[in-house]
Structure 1
Amino acid sequence: MTSRHYQSLTRDITDKLGSLRSGLPQVMQSFGALGKAAMAGGALEPKTKELIALGIAVAARCDGCIGFHSQALVRMGATPDELREVLGVAVYMGGGPSLMYAANAIAAYEEFSAAHAAGQAA
Structure 2
Amino acid sequence: MTWTNKLNDTKAQLKQLGAMIPDTVAGFGAIGKSVKKDAALTFKEKEYVALGIAVATRCEPCILFHTEALVRLGATREEVSEVLATCIQMAGGPGLMYSGKALEVFDELSAKS
Normalised to the residue count of structure 2, the TM-score between the two structures is: 0.95
Show CA shifts across 1:28-65 (max 9, x none): 10000101112321100000001111111110111111
> What runs of 5+ residues in structure 1 fail to find an aligned partner?
117-122
Q: 2:52 aligns with which of 36, 51, 55?
A: 55
CA distance in 2, matches of 1:39, 1:85: 22
For the Cα contact (< 8 Å) 2:35–2:43, is it kept in 1? no
Identity of aligned residues (%): 43
CA distance in 1, matches of 2:32, 2:98: 23
Letter in 2 for 1:50: E
Q: Which runs of 4+ in 1 moved over 2 A?
A: none
Letter in 1 for 2:89: Y
- Which residue in 2 is equivalent to 1:19? 16
- Which residue in 2 is equivalent to 1:43? 40
Residue 85 (structure 1) aligned with residue 85 (structure 2): no
Letter in 1 for 2:86: V
Residue 114 (structure 1) aligned with residue 106 (structure 2): no
Letter in 2 for 1:90: C
Normalised to the residue count of structure 1, the TM-score between the two structures is: 0.89
CA distance in 2, matches of 1:39, 1:52: 12
